[in-house]
């Protein structure tokens, strides 16, 4: 899907490596699942000017948020029966 804004084209990055994965946004310490990533491309130059990831919260708050996908880290949860530090 391509959406047209004033100075940029916006399209979904259907192949982004974080789509559907659980992540943490270290700047806010929020955790969520990446629902979509949009790429913004300059109409004047044709160059990518930014990307925005949209996350669904894991905390039950229902408050979705956005972040630069480069700032996100994969969330690694311990198995319930694994002791911390166990391999």
Domain ranges of the chain: 2-74
- For residue 19, pLDDT over 80 is answered with yes
Query: What SS3 state is found at 13?
Result: coil
The pLDDT > 70 percentage for the chain reads: 82
What pLDDT, in 10s, does the model give residues 37-61? 999 999 999 999 999 999 999 888 8
Extract the tokens encoding 20.
Answer: 């559907």
- Among residues 75, 61, 62, 60, the alpha carbon closest in space to that of 29 is found at 75
Give 32's pLDDT tier (boundaries 50, 70, 90): very high
| pTM over cut 0.85 | no
DSSP state of 59: S
């Amino acid at each position: 899907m391509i959406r047209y804004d004033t100075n940029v084209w916006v399209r979904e990055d259907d192949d982004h490596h974080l789509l559907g994965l659980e992540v943490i946004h270290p700047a806010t310490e929020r955790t969520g699942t990446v629902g979509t990533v949009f790429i913004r491309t300059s109409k004047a130059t044709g160059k990518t000017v930014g990307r925005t990831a949209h996350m669904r919260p894991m905390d039950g708050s229902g408050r979705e948020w956005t972040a630069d996908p480069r700032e996100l880290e994969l969330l690694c949860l311990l198995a319930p029966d694994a002791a911390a530090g166990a391999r």
